[in-house]
Chains A and B, each alone.
Chain A
């Protein structure tokens, strides 16, 4: 069974690796899907496995996105002047191939590290709260970050920030970000797959099941919680850096800190697939991305209304998720 699973995941990875050659028209959607897989997996690490339901994971996503873009620009130009020009103005901001590549190679880790650092600093304060207080506090964090970025002139404020453009003779950017996103999703999945076999996973599951008992058993619960959140933030930071470059425009509220879209979608994907499982978020992300694209195609103008309705329906009627439903079925048991 274990071997069969490994083979299935490897086959999926191989199929994704060659997909752009066969279905180039879906390359953008697939890139987005890989990032969604990362969102769902990292949300589930803290929400599903540890029971800390965060509404504000976009905080790390946006921090990673801004940190990456600022690093990319800052290596060559003054960030304030670059953002003030808004792509126009007297100065032309060009990046040659080396500068672009260097910026990206330093920007992505910088975003990941800054996001992880913020998780580390806030974690000890915020993760002491439980239940609804934690959830609403993280909701506030995500929105606060968006509003701060929205007013911060150095980052382009409400007009947003444009990540650097690549020179004309550079490699196919769509392809580059496709493989970066795929690599990130694969590494995140493999890392969490490994993590869930360790004692650390038992500890975070214990925290989910009964935190007071876990603490009484001698687990350093605060440290464990902060580590888990930091891991999630690290991968989300990289995902943010890629997403910003993929969208080619960083709007502070709609792209960098989109609490009401991606912030909720990541929760929805994890629940839809199955909270607290490894495969669940992966399956949830795939189904969600397909559903979302169908909504955008066939319900144009009403797609966001339909998504709101979908959230309510899934949470109310299908909280066990696909994995939970499949597991419950053969034994003839009713849904949990």
Chain B
């Protein structure tokens, strides 16, 4: 670990490489976490199966690539397919637990997550997969900094999708209904908004966001059937750090997490990257709780 730290100090381009690559991946984390913020803020449930939608989206891109299509087509297709799946999951399970306590939603969605993991394992096999986008790598600083072009494209697409999403929520009628329901579901019902349909739309939209993010993950990174929970945890962490409805915070936290993970993986060894992510969640929550406790607020 100290050896690697010395390498980082001796060769700043390596640090640049880690940070830039981390930020590019972090944009995808931020995009996925926006879905969790949406569901948490509007339906008031925490969905543990977020990460599985991401991975499913990734498999859409991989299957497309296998059939000779460009995996970038997987971004819209994954969004579409996952929207249908999200709507189905809402109609089958989620609407029954909307008004129940948080624990019920956590456990039920954890069950969905396990179900999807096993189905993906059966359908696509348990190995680590990647969708080859067939793009090159750009080198900076005499080849000390290597950036895959697909990561740059992923970054741009993630930013574009986030911009579309914000526009949709601010300007479209459905988006306005979603925001009204988030503010006060009862008042929304009073003015004639069908909140059940809003919830279904929100959940489908969330799954679509995750699916699109997942297609990008499969191209810029790797996926396997059991890695979904890491994305759920990352999303949760980003939303907790940023706060609900804080778009700038979500972006900053997402990019920061991506960079931090990359540096940690370099310092500790890649075998500890997930350990770092999960431990960071605990540290973030404990820190936040201690700060709240000092102000004598219970963390509800």
Contact = CB atoms under 8 A, between A and B. Distances in A.
Given A143-B278, A144-B282, A132 B289 contact: no
Given A309-B115, A312-B115, A316-B97, A128 B293 contact: yes
A308 B106 contact: no
Contacts of B236: 136
B46 A150 contact: no
Given A129-B289, A315-B111, A140 B298 contact: no
Contacts of B117: 260, 308
A157 B110 contact: no
A137 B281 contact: yes
A8 to B, nearest CB: 30
Given A264-B114, A305-B118, A143 B272 contact: no
Interface in B117-151: 117-119, 122
B108 A315 contact: yes
The A contact surface, by secondary structure, is helix
Given A128-B289, A135-B102, A311-B110, A151 B269 contact: yes
A136 B268 CA distance: 24
B166 interface: no
Nearest to B237: A140
The B contact surface, by secondary structure, is helix
B286 A137 contact: yes
Contact of A128 (B113, B274, B299): B299
A330 interface: no
B5 interface: no
B252 interface: no
B264 to A, nearest CB: 12
A208 to B, nearest CB: 12
Contacts of A55: 106, 110
B7 interface: no
B271 interface: yes
B289 A125 contact: yes
A174 interface: no
A174 to B, nearest CB: 30
Interface in B235-289: 236, 240, 268-269, 271-272, 274-275, 278-279, 281-282, 285-286, 289
A159 B108 CA distance: 32
A307 interface: yes
A147 B115 contact: no
A312 B299 contact: no
A53 B102 CA distance: 10
Most buried by B among A136, A301, A304: A136
A212 B298 contact: yes
Contacts of B193: none
B229 interface: yes
A136 B46 contact: yes
B282 A140 contact: yes
Contacts of B111: 264, 308-312, 315
Contacts of A126: 282, 286
Contacts of A131: 101-103, 300
A226 interface: no
Most buried by A among B96, B293, B298: B298
A267 interface: yes
Contact of B103 (A135, A151, A158, A264): A135
A20 interface: no
A305 B111 CA distance: 9
Nearest to B271: A151
B233 interface: yes
A266 B119 CA distance: 22
A133 interface: yes
A264 B271 contact: no
Contacts of A302: 118, 122
A157 B271 CA distance: 9
A157 B289 CA distance: 32
Interface in A296-322: 301-302, 304-305, 307-312, 315-316, 319
Interface in A98-154: 125-126, 128-133, 135-137, 139-141, 143-144, 147-148, 150-151
A148 B118 contact: no
Nearest to A149: B275
B294 to A, nearest CB: 11
B93 interface: yes
Given A129-B299, A135-B106, A157-B271, A140 B233 contact: yes
A149 B96 CA distance: 38
B104 interface: yes
A180 B106 CA distance: 34
A211 B300 CA distance: 11
Contact of B229 (A135, A143, A310): A143
B102 A144 contact: no
A301 B123 CA distance: 12
Nearest to A301: B122
Interface in A186-216: 211-212
Given A133-B299, A315-B108, A316-B108, A147 B278 contact: yes
Given A131-B300, A133-B299, A264-B110, A144 B289 contact: no
Given A131-B103, A157-B271, 12 more contacts: A55-B106, A125-B286, A125-B290, A129-B299, A130-B300, A133-B285, A136-B281, A302-B122, A305-B119, A305-B122, A308-B115, A315-B108
- A-B pairs, top 6 by smallest CB distance, nearest first, are A311-B111, A308-B115, A144-B278, A147-B275, A308-B114, A151-B271
15 contacts: A55-B106, A128-B289, A132-B106, A133-B285, A135-B102, A136-B236, A136-B285, A140-B285, A143-B274, A147-B272, A147-B275, A211-B298, A308-B112, A309-B111, A311-B108
